[in-house]
């Protein structure tokens, strides 16, 4: 779900047709007069429509001292408007046989529904209504904050693995807000109130800051007409809200983080490296990091699994991943779960040796080609799912890519060479850029 580096602003009207300038499926896009960007991805195999609204703000845009507010507001968006009381939207989706969901990430927040195509207008009406008319009474805000606090308690406070993840992210991003958990720090969630929510809502929930993605059995002209009738009535604010993000300083020190807890049943180790993202990378670096992640860590046929699990028997699982899709510098991760009888120190030594041997042992032409094929095939397969297709465009545009850049991605991946992989491994998988984490059973 990550694409090539592009910094240009999205064009007002874009036509990108299959076979003309890329490999992805055909999509149309246009902008409403109030600045709302619209992407239409036709998929006529079944009479269903996927309707998504993406906002270009995520947890990394939370104001200082208000961590968790992006996620809190995502919850509050289900609390109704003047016109529609809390729960009505969800009840309607459900009564129409549809599905709905919402998610908050570091760089964006998104809401979506999947319904029979004839109900698209109803969805647009509800979603446009809560973009502008959210009701935020105190009676709603305080209990929902308790829900979020309970969510954090369940997800993090009782889970040593989640605590390790938070501590590792904090150690990797010492200055950038990617080091703050999406759900927020407990004591700051406790302090969130109606005024914070209202101020945040007014700042970010605007037509200029939103992207509407409609995928499915729809015509672009019909979508345009419906969009104008619903979202088009929302008054523009005159400008997009600004993201205020500090840049991470150049890392100098190797860092280690250990969580030791009596509840740990399965120890593990993970390592994060600070790496450029699709948006911050130079040249082919981001595409090369994607292929590298796949080649060394993309499942049981990849290098790390073969080496540590199959050949050496020191691990029961091992892999890697790269969070390419990010506005700012991001993380490349490797991990391993020790086999019974293998200590974390021994495992780490084996992992270190395996990482050092990447250029010599992991990057033969066959392995690189297989990784590229797997990556592109996965995305092609994903595009075959209407929801995944809509997500690829929504996420890409939300972090600042153009539609063209999103569609060019398979070609960018194909262009990566073995030398590119060796180069990014050598430049970015270095001790100084890393945080190593251990999850241990407490003595």
Catalytic residue IDs = 74
Q: Does 249 bind a copy of itself (CB under 8 A)?
A: yes
Please name which of 300, 307, 266 lies closest in space to residue 440, comparing C-alpha atoms: 266
Is residue 23 within the footprint of a copy of itself (CB under 8 A)?
no
Query: Which of these, 35, 26, 420, 384, lies nearest to 227 by C-alpha position?
Result: 35
Q: Which tokens is 240 given?
A: 């997009």
- Smallest gap from Cβ 247 to a copy of itself, in A, equals 6
Smallest distance from a copy of itself to CB 185, Å: 4
301 vs 362: CA distance, rounded Å? 11
Closer to a copy of itself by CB, 160 or 396: give it.
160
Q: Which of 194, 224, 237, 245 binds a copy of itself (CB under 8 A)?
A: 245
The only residue of 255, 307, 372, 408 in contact with a copy of itself, by rule CB under 8 A? 255
| 247 Cβ contact partners less than 8 Å away, ≥ 6 residues apart | 175, 176, 328, 329
Q: Does 262 bind a copy of itself (CB under 8 A)?
A: no
258 scored as a contact of a copy of itself (CB under 8 A): yes
The yes or no reply on residue 186 touching a copy of itself (CB under 8 A) is yes
| Cβ distance to a copy of itself smaller for residue 179 or 267 | 179
Residues 163-182 that bind a copy of itself (CB under 8 A): 163-164, 166-168, 170-171, 174-175, 179-180
Nearer to a copy of itself, 114 or 433 (CB): 433
How many Å is the Cα radius of gyration of the chain?
A: 23
Subset of residues 404 to 433 that bind a copy of itself, contact rule: CB under 8 A: 431
Distance CA 77, CA 70 (A): 11
Given candidates 137, 142, 154, 253, which one binds a copy of itself under the rule CB under 8 A?
A: 253
CA dihedral sign of residues 355, 357, 358, 362:
negative
293: helix, coil or strand?
A: helix
Judged by beta carbon, residue 145 or residue 255, the one nearer a copy of itself is: 255
- Among 139, 250, 265, 365, which residue interacts with a copy of itself (rule: CB under 8 A)? 250
CB of 41 to a copy of itself, least distance (A): 36
The position carrying tokens 């959210």 is 134
Cα–Cα distance, 362 to 217 (Å, whole number) = 44
Q: How many CA atoms lie within 13 A of 252 on its CB side?
A: 1
154 binds a copy of itself (CB under 8 A): no
CA–CA distance, 379 with 373 (Å, rounded to integer): 10
Stretch that binds a copy of itself, among 120-128, 239-247, 346-354, 414-422 (CB under 8 A): 239-247
Q: What angle (nearest 5°) sits at the alpha carbon of residue 189, between those of residues 186 and 194?
A: 165
- β-pair partners for 370: none
Provide DSSP, 307-330: IIIIIS--EEEEEEEE----SS-E
Residues 44-83 that bind a copy of itself (CB under 8 A): 64-65, 67
Q: What residues from 188 to 217 belong to the interface with a copy of itself (CB under 8 A)?
A: 188
338 forms bridges with which residues in the sheet?
Answer: 315
What does the alpha-carbon distance between residue 336 and residue 210 come to, in Å, rounded to a whole number? Answer: 39
Cβ proximity to a copy of itself: between 95 and 242 the closer is 242
CB 243, min distance to a copy of itself, A = 11
Binding site for a copy of itself (CB under 8 A): 64-65, 67, 163-164, 166-168, 170-171, 174-175, 179-180, 185-188, 244-247, 249-260, 431, 437
């Amino acid at each position: 779900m990550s694409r090539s580096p592009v910094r240009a602003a999205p064009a007002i009207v874009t036509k990108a047709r299959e076979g003309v300038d890329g490999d992805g499926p055909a999509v149309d896009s246009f902008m409403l007069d109030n600045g709302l960007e619209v992407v239409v991805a036709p998929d006529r195999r079944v009479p269903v429509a996927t309707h998504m609204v993406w906002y270009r703000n995520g947890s990394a845009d939370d104001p200082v001292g208000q961590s968790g507010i992006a996620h809190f507001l995502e919850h509050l968006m289900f609390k109704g408007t003047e016109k529609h009381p809390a729960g009505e939207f969800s009840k309607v989706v459900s009564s129409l046989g549809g599905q709905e969901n919402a998610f908050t990430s570091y760089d964006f927040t998104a809401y979506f529904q999947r319904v029979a195509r004839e109900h698209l207008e109803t969805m647009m009406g509800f979603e446009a209504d809560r973009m502008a008319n959210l009701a935020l009474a105190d009676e709603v805000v305080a209990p929902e904050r308790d829900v979020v606090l309970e969510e954090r308690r369940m997800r993090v406070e009782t889970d040593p693995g989640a605590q390790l993840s938070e501590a590792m992210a904090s150690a990797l991003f010492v200055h950038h807000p990617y080091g703050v958990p999406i759900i927020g720090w407990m004591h700051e969630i406790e302090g969130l109130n109606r005024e914070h929510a209202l101020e945040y809502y007014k700042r970010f929930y605007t037509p200029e800051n939103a992207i509407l993605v409609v995928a499915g059995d729809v015509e672009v002209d019909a979508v345009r007409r419906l969009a104008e009738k619903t979202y088009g009535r929302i008054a523009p604010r005159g400008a997009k809200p600004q993201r205020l993000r500090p840049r991470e300083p150049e890392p100098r020190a190797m860092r280690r983080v250990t969580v030791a807890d009596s509840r740990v049943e399965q120890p593990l180790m993970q390592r994060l490296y600070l790496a450029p993202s699709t948006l911050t990378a130079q040249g082919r670096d981001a595409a090369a990091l994607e292929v590298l992640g796949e080649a060394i860590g993309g499942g049981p046929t990849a290098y790390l699994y073969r080496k540590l699990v199959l050949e050496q028997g020191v691990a029961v699982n091992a892999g890697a991943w790269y969070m390419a899709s990010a506005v700012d510098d991001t993380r490349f991760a490797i991990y391993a779960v020790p086999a019974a009888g293998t200590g974390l120190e021994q495992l780490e030594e084996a992992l270190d040796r395996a990482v050092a041997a990447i250029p010599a042992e992991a990057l033969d032409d066959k392995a690189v080609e297989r990784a590229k094929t797997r990556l592109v095939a996965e995305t092609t397969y994903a595009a075959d799912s209407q929801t995944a297709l809509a997500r690829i465009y929504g996420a890409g545009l939300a972090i600042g890519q153009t539609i063209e850049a999103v569609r060019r991605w398979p070609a960018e991946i194909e262009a990566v060479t073995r030398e590119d992989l060796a180069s990014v491994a050598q430049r970015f998988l270095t001790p100084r850029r890393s945080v190593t984490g251990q999850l241990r059973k407490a003595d």
